[in-house]
Amino acid sequence: QVQLVESGGGLVQPGGSLRLSCAASGSIFSINRMGWYRQAPGKTRELVAAITSGSNTNYADSVKGRFTISRANAKNTVHLLMNSLKPEDTAVYYCNSRGTTGGGNPYEYWGQGTQVTVSS
pLDDT value, residue 41: 92
Q: What percent of the chain lies above the pLDDT cut of 70?
A: 100
Indicate if the alpha-carbon torsion angle 100, 102, 108, 109 is positive or negative. negative
What is the secondary structure of 53-119 as a DSSP string?
TT--EEE-GGGTTTEEEEEEGGGTEEEEEE-S--GGG-EEEEEEEEEEETTS-EEEEE---EEEEE-
Q: Encode pLDDT of 24-80 as tens digits.
A: 999 998 999 999 999 999 999 999 999 999 999 999 999 999 999 999 877 799 999
Give the model's confidence band at 111: pLDDT under 50 very low, under 70 low, under 90 confident, else very high: very high
Amino acid letter, residue 118? V
pLDDT value, residue 73: 73
pLDDT value, residue 101: 92
Q: What is the mean pLDDT of the chain?
A: 95
Q: Which residue has the higher pLDDT, 53 or 12?
A: 12
Q: Is the pLDDT of residue 82 over 80?
A: yes
Query: In 3-state terms, what secondary structure has residue 51?
Result: strand
